[in-house]
């Protein structure tokens, strides 16, 4: 097992998750504000689940996104 390769590949995957997730959240918030579903000063509860099937990994994160 190549520890450096695992590190690089994991970081690439997490970077993709971070960038695309941020884009999706920002797009959805803009649309919700535009449609009137949000005022633009709320705190949103967020939940993310990461699963990696072959190694039986399930990692859950709860948090908040303040859009004030």
Q: What's residue 68's pLDDT?
A: 86
- Contact (CB, 8 A) for 25 and 48: no
pLDDT average, residue stretch 14-43:
97
Distance between CA atoms of residues 28 and 33, nearest Å: 9
Closest CA to 46 of 67, 63, 68, 26: 63
Which sequence spans correspond to the domains of the chain?
3-66
Distance between CA atoms of residues 24 and 61, nearest Å: 17
Q: How many CB atoms lie within 10 A of CB 25?
A: 14
Q: What's residue 58's pLDDT?
A: 98
What pLDDT digit, counting tens, does each position of 30-63 carry?
999 999 999 999 999 999 999 999 999 999 999 9
């Amino acid at each position: 097992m190549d520890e450096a390769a695992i590190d690089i590949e994991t970081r690439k995957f997490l970077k993709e998750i971070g960038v695309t997730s941020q884009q999706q959240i920002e797009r959805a918030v803009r649309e919700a504000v535009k449609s009137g579903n949000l005022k633009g000063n709320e705190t949103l509860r967020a939940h993310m689940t990461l699963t990696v099937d072959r190694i039986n990994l399930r990692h859950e994160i709860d948090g908040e996104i303040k859009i004030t």
